[in-house]
Amino acid sequence: MMLTGALSHVLPIMICVMTSKWVGDAMGKDGIYAVWIAMRQYPWLPPVDYRDKGETGANIMKPLEQLVVINDEELSAKELEALLHKYTFNGFPIVRQAQLVGFATRDKIREALDTVSAEDYSDRRKKCSFSKRDSLLPDTDRIDLSRYLEEALLQLRKEVPQELVVNTFQKLLRTEPAPYPIYAFRTVDWDDNQD
């Protein structure tokens, strides 16, 4: 600034910078990005090194029996709408015979149900099928919702160290914000189903 003859601007700029720093310090110690993430209610894990004490991922995962899931080809469109009305989750795991088929977000399910409601009211009694390949119902008795299913899911076994589970989620959330929600759940007790 001294070379350009703008020496008269140095003092006002320094005053502005120091004033903004003091105001920021007075309002809290969190940065603007941490506050923005909290305001938007984005999932966020603080960047701390997590160390477990020999625990496995099963300690922080919920078993399938404790989750609200959509059983593939068992719910009608009307029952699926009642499930959305009863629970406020952002999405639901889609399960068939205790095996994870995929994940469907609340918005996509709502979009699918709005399409079904607009087409024909009699379709609301048909069963909803999220998997196109392994469908057990004839096409006339089901509503195909396979295009609303997210099949590319990250799955971790329950035997994985807890530290790896936490670090994986931290890395997922540190990259770009995910366009979909991130959840952790366990669908199968591998030791119990080895018969």
Residue 62 above 70 pLDDT? yes
CATH code for the domain of 80: 3.10.580.20
Predicted confidence at residue 194, as pLDDT, reads 43
Looking at residues 141-150, what average pLDDT do you find?
85
- Residue 22, in any domain of the structure: no
CA distance 143 to 146: 9
Instruction: Report the number of distinct structural domains present in the chain.
Output: 1
Residue 122 lies in a domain: yes
pTM of the model: 0.58
In a domain, 194, yes or no: no
Residue 111 lies in a domain: yes
Residue for token pair 């959840």: 183
Domain carrying residue 109: 57-174
Other C-beta atoms lying within 10 Å of the C-beta of residue 25:
9
Ramachandran region of residue 169, left (φ > 0), alpha (ψ -120 to 50) or beta? alpha
Q: How confident is the model at residue 122 (pLDDT cuts 50, 70, 90)?
A: low
Which band of pLDDT confidence, cut at 50, 70 and 90, is reported for residue 3? low
Across 25-29, 34-38, 55-59, 137-141, least confident range: 137-141
User: What average pLDDT score do residues 27-39 get?
Assistant: 78
